[in-house]
């Protein structure tokens, strides 16, 4: 049974005692909980004490007009359904009852089977209305969260390098020029793509995103170009594809170097000819989109390894934007932290916590190998743990609490592609200390050396914990 016992409570308001008693017995036998009242006053009082899900209301009551009682019920207990039962029927009464919000109108004598069926329908309607209301509230919450998310996605242009990028975006966004965005993972390449689209002439049209690394290579083609029913096993319906979806707008292809080479060639043809054919289709379709691509691989490496075809690269690289890692633009950390704190506090329904100065210093000192994405996760973690509206060092993730020397740092650029033995040893010691949160005894065990040896090596490599 879908409904619980409270949702199956019925109040019968009728001055005819024989009807009340028998109807009550019948409804109880069919699993409903019932309450009875012989007057409108008693009925309304019963509703105030414990509102019933459904009211069976006689139109002719000794102390009130049934339609007025119906008005009162609908005003005070809008959630409850009302079925009118009357021996004083007329078409006008029936129409008036429905107009005033009754679920149904039944003339006496009625077949109990009809009443039971209507009662079930009325309760079902009530339950659906409640579900709809709950979904509406959920949708409103999601809309609010989406608004917050969109706020979060606005890039921060505080540092000089980001200010220069903002100028470049403002200058080239209105054109239809293709853009290639590069940068480490988590720097905010997608956020930059959003910014370009929102400042472009195509802003009112869709921005369609495809992460080439998130799809099996065999699926990228069908996602991008679409297919017609029967094009391959499992193609049960036509699917227009993302190029069609992006018509008039922008197509953002993330991790472009993960796109299979033959598909890169096919996509290049679309960019050159402005036409494409869906899988299994004999018809060419017009393509109308601006393309923004992104990759976290160094371009030279991607080209050298043939992960990115050079002919496609030249086509998509009209403008190249390199989003610098967060460690190289620490001026952006404070405004990003403020944005994230506001966002997560609102999401959690908490007061906005203050960040203690020493915790803030930790955030500035940290190297952020995971870039803005890592900063965002760290702030979410801290806001969840914040006590008394303060984020101290203890509320930060353990990695950030570590002394700088023990933190995971991005691998240094190697001078000739080969690391020296000393560099490798230093790096290994740092990793062991990081894994053991600075515990030298455990780090020495992990490295398979004596603790004094570890101390000596730390001294030699100027490692301080």
Partner 1 sequence: MKTEVEAEAANGNVSWENFVKFVRQLSHDLRNQLNAAELQSALIGELTNDAEIKSEIRRLRELVSQLGATLQSLSASVAEPRPTTLPYAAKDFIADMQKKIAHEFPEKKQAVKWEVLPAGATLNIDPELTEWAAAELFRNAFRHDLAGDEVQAQASVEGDWFTFSIREAKTEEIDPAQWTQPLQNVSHGHYGLGLRRARKIIVAQSGELTAKFDPASRTLTSTITLPCSTDSP
Our finding on whether 62 is near partner 1 (CB under 8 A) is: no
Our finding on whether 112 is near partner 1 (CB under 8 A) is: yes
Our finding on whether 109 is near partner 1 (CB under 8 A) is: yes
Our finding on whether 25 is near partner 1 (CB under 8 A) is: yes
Our finding on whether 90 is near partner 1 (CB under 8 A) is: yes
- The answer to whether the beta carbons of residues 449 and 421 sit under 8 Å apart is no
Q: Tell me whether residue 49 or residue 92 sits nearer to partner 1 (CB atom).
A: 92
- Smallest separation (angstroms) from partner 1 to the CB of 29: 6
For partner 1, the binding residue among 108, 205, 266, 457 (CB under 8 A) is 108
- Smallest separation (angstroms) from partner 1 to the CB of 9: 20
For partner 1, the binding residue among 78, 111, 236, 421 (CB under 8 A) is 111
Residues 6+ apart with CB under 8 A from 398: 437
Distances (CA, A) of 427 to 19, 409, 424, 457: 88, 9, 5, 12
For partner 1, the binding residue among 18, 62, 417, 448 (CB under 8 A) is 18
The size of the interface with partner 1 (CB under 8 A), counted in residues, is 22
Selected range binding partner 1 among 18-26, 38-46, 374-382, 419-427, rule: CB under 8 A: 18-26
Cα–Cα distance for residue pair 290/247, rounded to 1 Å: 9
Our finding on whether 117 is near partner 1 (CB under 8 A) is: no
For partner 1, the binding residue among 3, 107, 317, 409 (CB under 8 A) is 107
Our finding on whether 91 is near partner 1 (CB under 8 A) is: yes
Selected range binding partner 1 among 25-33, 271-279, 381-389, 434-442, rule: CB under 8 A: 25-33
Cα–Cα distance for residue pair 202/140, rounded to 1 Å: 28
Q: Tell me whether residue 19 or residue 372 sits nearer to partner 1 (CB atom).
A: 19
Q: Tell me whether residue 22 or residue 141 sits nearer to partner 1 (CB atom).
A: 22
What string of DSSP letters covers 145-178? Answer: HHHHHHHHHSPP--SHHHHHHHHHHHHHTTS---
Selected range binding partner 1 among 5-13, 102-110, 172-180, 418-426, rule: CB under 8 A: 102-110
Our finding on whether 88 is near partner 1 (CB under 8 A) is: yes
Distances (CA, A) of 118 to 37, 67, 361: 20, 19, 68
Our finding on whether 110 is near partner 1 (CB under 8 A) is: yes
Our finding on whether 96 is near partner 1 (CB under 8 A) is: no
- The answer to whether the beta carbons of residues 195 and 239 sit under 8 Å apart is no
Burial class (CB in 10 A: 0-12, 13-18, 19+), 242: buried
Closest CA to 320 of 306, 338, 300, 335: 300
Cα–Cα distance for residue pair 244/275, rounded to 1 Å: 11
What string of DSSP letters covers 263-274? Answer: HHHHHHHHHHHS
E-strand ranges in 53-186 read 54-58, 81-86, 104-107, 179-182
- Smallest separation (angstroms) from partner 1 to the CB of 23: 6
Bridging pattern class, strands 290-295 and 250-254: parallel
For partner 1, the binding residue among 10, 12, 13, 23 (CB under 8 A) is 23
Cα–Cα distance for residue pair 174/120, rounded to 1 Å: 59
Kindly list the residues in this chain that would bind partner 1 in the complex (CB under 8 A).
Answer: 16, 18-19, 22-23, 25-26, 29, 60, 87-92, 107-113
């Amino acid at each position: 049974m879908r409904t619980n016992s409270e949702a199956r409570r019925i109040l019968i308001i009728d001055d005819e005692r024989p009807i009340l008693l028998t109807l009550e017995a019948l409804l109880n036998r069919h699993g409903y909980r019932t309450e009875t009242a012989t007057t409108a006053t008693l009925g309304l009082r019963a509703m105030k004490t414990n509102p019933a899900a459904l009211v069976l209301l006689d139109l002719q009551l000794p102390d009130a007009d049934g339609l007025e009682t119906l008005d009162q019920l609908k005003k005070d207990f809008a959630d409850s359904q009302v079925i009118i039962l009357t021996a004083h029927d007329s078409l006008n009464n029936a129409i008036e009852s429905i107009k005033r919000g009754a679920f149904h109108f039944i003339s006496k004598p009625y077949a109990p089977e009809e009443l039971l069926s209507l009662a079930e329908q009325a309760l079902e309607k009530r339950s659906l209305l409640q579900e709809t209301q709950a979904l509406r509230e959920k949708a409103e919450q999601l809309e609010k969260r989406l608004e917050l998310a969109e706020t979060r996605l606005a890039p921060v242009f505080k540092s000089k390098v980001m200010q220069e990028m903002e100028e470049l975006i403002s200058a080239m966004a209105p054109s239809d020029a293709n853009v290639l965005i590069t940068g480490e993972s988590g720097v905010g390449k997608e956020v930059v793509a959003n910014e370009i689209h929102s400042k472009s002439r195509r802003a009112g049209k869709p921005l369609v995103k495809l992460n080439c690394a998130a799809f099996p290579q065999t699926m990228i083609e069908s996602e991008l170009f679409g297919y017609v029913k029967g094009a391959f096993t499992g193609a049960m319906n036509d699917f227009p594809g993302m190029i069609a979806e992006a018509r008039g707008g922008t197509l953002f292809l993330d991790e472009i170097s993960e796109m299979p080479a033959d598909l890169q060639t096919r996509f290049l043809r679309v960019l050159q000819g402005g036409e494409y054919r869906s899988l299994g289709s004999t018809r060419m379709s017009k393509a109308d989109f601006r393309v923004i691509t992104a990759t976290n691989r160094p371009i030279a490496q991607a080209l050298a390894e043939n992960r990115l075809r050079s002919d496609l690269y030249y086509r998509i690289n009209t403008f190249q934007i390199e989003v610098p890692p967060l460690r190289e633009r620490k001026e952006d950390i404070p405004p990003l932290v403020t944005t994230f704190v506001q966002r997560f506090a609102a999401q959690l329904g908490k007061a906005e916590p203050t960040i203690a100065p020493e915790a803030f210093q930790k955030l500035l000192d940290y190297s952020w190998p995971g870039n803005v994405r890592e900063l965002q996760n760290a702030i979410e973690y801290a806001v969840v743990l914040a006590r008394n509206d303060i984020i101290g060092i203890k509320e930060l993730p353990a990695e950030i609490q570590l002394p700088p020397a023990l933190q995971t740092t991005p691998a240094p650029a190697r001078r000739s592609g080969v690391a020296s033995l000393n560099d490798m040893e230093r790096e290994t010691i740092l990793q062991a200390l990081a894994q053991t949160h600075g515990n030298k005894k455990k780090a020495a065990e992990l490295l398979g050396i004596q603790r004094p040896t570890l101390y000596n090596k730390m001294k030699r490599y100027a490692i301080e914990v």
